[in-house]
Structure 1
Amino acid sequence: MRQLLRKWLAEPTRADTPSVFANRPTLLDHERLKSEFGALNRTYVDNQPFPHIVIDNFLPDDVAQALIDQYPIDQAKAQWIDGTYREPQGDGYVQKDKRHLKDILAMPSVYRELIWELNSKGFLDALTQLTGIRALISDPELLGAGIHQIARGGLLKIHADFANHRKYSLDRRLNFLLYLNPDWKEEWGGHLELWDAEMQGPPKRVLPVLNRCVIFTTSADSYHGHPHPLNCPDGIYRRSIALYYYTNRPREEELPNGNATLWQDLPEAYRH
């Protein structure tokens, strides 16, 4: 925790950074979000196959458009991290043609401002209203998080995420995904799939369209991914902002995966 506090104290605050939108104090209406998230708590908790919510039009339209306009296509090339990984055994991939940018200081200003707000106390309070999980902590390291981009042919095998932050020894509790794909077509695939603990199916499928947000609870059986190769044209990418939230309290149950990701094979009927 001391490392985490030192990191936060060293980070520039939003007040230190010129705002992209000078006519508003924040990009998000945090009080409105807290109220709306509170009203969605029962839906979130009851949703199957595990607690989650899908929210369309999450950001104001002008903020969503600014994210598209400022997307760092050629910016900070050296900071993009390759995320292609093969199966531990076999010839396949668990993650293919994916890269991500986690260095917030290398991001365009609207991304810095938005991620700062999504990691702020105001948004953490709203997440508590939505999920019922108290004392949430954001991650200034953006471990595994940041801006994600997947090219044609790319995929992410179904998996349950690592349970512990390897640097701060925090328990991972929530995933936040915000999609940045204008005019994304159904036939391109790339649906986020949410699977039940037994991997029986059918999964819940979520098309990654612009300004659609997905929030879900991280557990040993919150299986998710987009396991089928993307069929988008060359030069079109499946883009998102991904953030993860933690607590420093022990879980009610001890998760078996610790720092490891639990990969799952699709049932035969869902492999094509």
Structure 2
Amino acid sequence: MKFIDLSVSELHDLAKSRRADYLSAEPFPNTYFDNFFNAEKLSEVLEEFPDLSQNPDLKYNDANQIKLASKGEYRFGEKTREFMHFLNSQPFLEFLSILTGIEALIPDPYFDGGGAHQILPGGLLKIHADFNKNKLTNLDRRLNILVYMNKDWDESWGGHFELWDKEMKGAVKKILPIFNRMALFTTTSDSYHGHPDPLRCPPDRSRKSLALYYYTNGRPEEEITDAHSTLFKARPNEKAGKSFKDIIKQLTPPIIYDAAKKITK
């Protein structure tokens, strides 16, 4: 396969060998792989990473997040599109299912919330649990993949991907976002994670990643909750901000809010 130097059978064997570690990881099932992809091919993807800073529609700036994110695949270059399609392909989905135990994974060809992500100096993404339903398909969000694209990343710059316990007492794991590192984790309504401290990289650098989300039609009964958007959580001695959407929901009578949601779907 073009983007990885493994056959399908070798990819399956790798997934089997890491499955127990993935499922037993704290604070929720997770792992990461270094040098998983062909470095030359991934470098070609990095070369065409889109400049997200020039489009105000791609900026998120509120109390909980200061970041840039693409929408859909139309800003992808040719190699990026090919790479992202590979990550939504049958061989890779089979690898993910064997590794995580989540069967019949469904990719998101619309990259709703996924795609190219970029955080500039001073940016952050506070600790949160992800939205649990795809607004287009109503499928259940089950798995996140983050492919980091940052060459020669200095640890003093921060940007660690943090995984927090359910009680929000502290980070159980911190993952440095270095080039060709792929992090993945099972998503539930209490799989709290983020990049909560302002980025300290030089002005000419940024934290780049490619994000992909995977879904199923239904989820285990013990994980079922009402549909929700991103749930931000405060760290100890920190006050969680409310998103604009949350504020509108809080101020709007439920009947009117629900009716508006149906109209805008």
Q: What TM-score, normalized to structure 2?
A: 0.84
C-alpha deviations, 1:236-268, integer Å up to 9, x for none?
110000000000124322543623111111113
Q: What does residue 59 of structure 2 align with?
A: 82
Distance 1:65 1:110 in 2: 10
Distance 1:41 1:66 in 2: 30
Q: Output aligned runs, 1:1-272, within 5 Å.
A: 26-28=2-4, 29=6, 31=8, 32-73=10-51, 78=55, 81-84=58-61, 86=62, 93-96=63-66, 98-256=67-225, 258-268=227-237
Residue identity (%): 43
C-alpha deviations, 1:106-144, integer Å up to 9, x for none?
311111011001001111111001000001000011010
Residue type of the partner of 2:64?
V
Contact between 1:155 and 1:229, CA under 8 Å: does it hold in 2?
A: yes
Contact between 1:181 and 1:238, CA under 8 Å: does it hold in 2?
A: yes
SS at match of 1:153: coil
Superposed CA RMSD in Å reads 2.1
Unaligned runs of 5+ in 1: 1-24, 87-92
SS at match of 2:211: strand
C-alpha deviations, 1:174-208, integer Å up to 9, x for none?
00000000011111111000001111124311110
Contact between 1:164 and 1:258, CA under 8 Å: does it hold in 2?
A: yes
- Does the C-alpha gap of structure 1 residues 165 and 235 become closer, same or farther in structure 2, counting only changes over 3 Å? same
Contact between 2:31 and 2:183, CA under 8 Å: does it hold in 1?
A: yes
Distance 2:171 2:218 in 1: 34
Q: What TM-score, normalized to structure 1?
A: 0.82
Contact between 2:127 and 2:235, CA under 8 Å: does it hold in 1?
A: yes
The offset of 1:71, in angstroms, is 2.1
Q: What does residue 18 of structure 1 align with?
A: none
SS at match of 2:121: strand
SS at match of 2:122: strand
- Does the C-alpha gap of structure 1 residues 63 and 79 become closer, same or farther in structure 2, counting only changes over 3 Å? farther
Q: What does residue 21 of structure 1 align with?
A: none
Distance 1:245 1:146 in 2: 12
Distance 1:215 1:230 in 2: 21
The offset of 1:79, in angstroms, is 9.1
Distance 2:131 2:13 in 1: 30
C-alpha deviations, 1:6-57, integer Å up to 9, x for none?
xxxxxxxxxxxxxxxxxxx632345132221121000000010110011111
